[in-house]
Structure 1
Amino acid sequence: MKYLHLKCLILLANLFIAAILPTLVLAQGYPFIIKAKINPQKKQSKVMLWYPDPANVSGVKDSAEVKNGEFEFRGNIKFPGKAILYTMPDYNDLELFIESGTILIQSSDSLANAVVTAGPLNKDFAKLQKMLAPVNKKRTEIYTDYSKALRALPENADKKVFEESWEQKKEWARSERKKIYQDFITRMPNSLVSIEAIQSSGGFTPDFKELTTLFESLTESVRNSPSGKEYQKVLSKLSQTSIGTLAPNFTQKDTTGKLVSLTDFRGKYVFLDFWASWCGPCRAEHPALVKTFNEFSNQNFTIIGVSLDQLKTRDAWLKAIVKDGLTWTQLSDLQGWSNEASTLYNVQFIPKNYLIGPDGVIIAIDLKPESLKEKLGQLLPK
């Protein structure tokens, strides 16, 4: 479970930075050195590093051997940004900001408990982490207790009631974290770290107007910095895929190689669903989504699936479609997270979906299958 959690953490951080830095190219980079020393008794053999690169949506991935608890990285980042380190085989992780200069990491224990000594960005990031620590601890407890309760749930139990009761606790943690992010932004309007805090405060369902207001509260120097200008592009893209806007059109191939456009379905209610064969949460929703599709498919409603699979996982994508019984239109350019449609819609996590009206206007975002069924029941004739 810890490994899976780490993979999600890495993915979320990866997608956040990639969203902020899609096209920026700087003439001058930021040379950095990371020097670390952790407890050699932990017997770590390798450490992995990920940091952003504006020329590569997947960022830069690097690795180093750990010898006697010590390791080192040298590089030149094109843009200061949040990075993730994790050791193997224990997958303890550490978040930090890569900025110009030497970054020292020390721990008498594991990497997760290390102290980072570096420049102003890491000092500001440390303040944010300290503010988040209490609610993060509580959130971990909530998810740990949820997992235990889910494993102990009787087969005949009402899972809907169970999930709703735990969702209230999860929502409390999300709400508290959001308050802390916004408090940090208010206290630190002159810090580039506040841009990340804005992104994080938006969570999985960001509100364009809310994030714009937060961004405008930052100092002029931060807003006009390279990262500030790039985040303005993110906000612009978000404004184009918000409720009430015309859904951006795109064209991709279906499973037979036929080109299909979103506008081909104008006149119908369309549920645009971003997923992938390797996405567990996506596929867990498919049984309920299939039921909803079968119930409403003859009432001016359809689904378009857009997969973030890659060329190398094409067979897995096709097998998943058959296994999960997905009989609606399936599209993909097999470019993974660089999928043209997902980039157009600024998709930072999956599952991600948009309910689009017959006029092509977005009317809802991030609906669970049950909520989709309820919404369609309101929109379509009985």
Structure 2
Amino acid sequence: MLYAQSLLSAQKSKEAIALLDGIKMSSRSPVYTDFLLLKAAALKMDGKASEAYQQLSKAYAASPETAIGKVLYEYGSAINKSKEQVEKDITFIRDTAAKAATDFSLNQYFGKGKASLNNYKGKVVLLTYWFPGCGPCRGEFPHFQNVINQFDKKDVAYVGINIVSEQNDYVIPFMKSSGYTFIPLEDVEGRAKGNLDNGGAAPVNFLLDQNGRIIFKNFRTDGDNEEVLYEMIASTIKNFKK
């Protein structure tokens, strides 16, 4: 990427694009956003602002990274799109990709009976798969909580599905001692999870809209990107269509 940056500094946009096109970059890479921004800059320099905008829009729709959000309107303006048109484009991409989440019926640790997605209809749902002994889950919970605390409970449901039944006895004590506010549910081994499948792993996260559609998935939250989760939730609340 450093060489691509040097090519761009030398106004050699075509060479930079060719170099970047040859790089296979995972969206989970810590430099993925930098990669996208560099490629967008090369495309714009090469007179391909529309292609740059499309790539950034698609990436931002999937994960609203702050760095991309800061320049997205600039790229939209370069092809005569207003701020409102850019926002409509992002919403359209998300709506097109959204799929109804596979329902579940799981035992609650607090209260009686089972809970299903219908229990949370009308709310954005932050859904995480976890278990009490999961270190990465415990590492993520404080950041989830920091974000959730910024929203009204009437707008957002925070749900955690425990995937290790052998640790059931630790769930309620953990909830009471930690102060976390997610709703703990007990998973059922072998159930058909459909498009809410965690592949037996934890943490695995999903964000559903008020109609139970998956809007965001396979994301992680830490101290460096809480604002991304905030934007995911805020934009989903804003764009709700009854």
> Scaled by the length of structure 1, what TM-score is found?
0.34
The residue number in structure 2 matching 1:135 is: none
CA offsets 1:101-144 (integer angstroms, 9 cap, x no match): xxxxxxxxxxxxxxxxxxxxxxxxxxxxxxxxxxxxxxxxxxxx
Change (3 A) 1:303 1:290: same
2: CA distance, partners of 1:323 / 1:356: 28
Q: Are 2:132 and 2:171, in contact at CA under 8 Å, matched by a contact in 1?
A: yes
How many Å apart are 1:368 and its aligned residue? 2.8
Structure 2 residue corresponding to 1:380, chosen from 207, 226, 237 = 237
Structure 2 residue corresponding to 1:275, chosen from 116, 121, 130 = 130
1: CA distance, partners of 2:220 / 2:234: 14
2: CA distance, partners of 1:320 / 1:248: 28
The residue number in structure 1 matching 2:191 is: 340
Alignment partner of 1:281: what SS? helix
CA offsets 1:17-75 (integer angstroms, 9 cap, x no match): xxxxxxxxxxxxxxxxxxxxxxxxxxxxxxxxxxxxxxxxxxxxxxxxxxxxxxxxxxx
Q: Report 1 or 2 for greater relative contact order, CA contacts < 8 Å, sequence distance ≥ 6.
A: 2
1: CA distance, partners of 2:192 / 2:145: 23
Over aligned residues, Cα RMSD in angstroms? 3.0
How many Å apart are 1:332 and its aligned residue? 0.4
Structure 2 residue corresponding to 1:331, chosen from 162, 177, 185 = 185
Q: Are 1:277 and 1:316, in contact at CA under 8 Å, matched by a contact in 2?
A: yes
How many Å apart are 1:282 and its aligned residue? 0.8
The residue number in structure 2 matching 1:168 is: 31
Change (3 A) 1:268 1:341: farther
* Unaligned stretches of 5+ residues in structure 1: 1-163, 173-204, 206-241
Greater than 6 Å deviation, 4+ residue runs: none
The 5-angstrom pairing of residues 61-72 of structure 1 reads none
- Asked whether 1:318 is paired with 2:172, we answer yes
Q: Are 1:306 and 1:332, in contact at CA under 8 Å, matched by a contact in 2?
A: yes
* Unaligned stretches of 5+ residues in structure 2: 1-27, 36-61, 63-95
1: CA distance, partners of 2:158 / 2:190: 18
Change (3 A) 1:298 1:343: closer
Alignment partner of 1:167: what SS? coil
Q: What percentage of aligned pairs have identical amino acids?
A: 24
Larger radius of gyration: 1
Alignment partner of 2:216: what SS? strand
Amino acid at match of 1:318: I
2: CA distance, partners of 1:294 / 1:341: 32
The residue number in structure 1 matching 2:217 is: 365
Amino acid at match of 1:364: F
Change (3 A) 1:323 1:251: same
Amino acid at match of 2:220: K
The residue number in structure 1 matching 2:59 is: none
2: CA distance, partners of 1:285 / 1:260: 24
The 5-angstrom pairing of residues 1-382 of structure 1 reads 167-168=30-31, 243-256=97-110, 257-298=112-153, 300-310=155-165, 312-333=166-187, 335=188, 338=189, 340=191, 345-348=196-199, 349-369=201-221, 370=226, 371-380=228-237
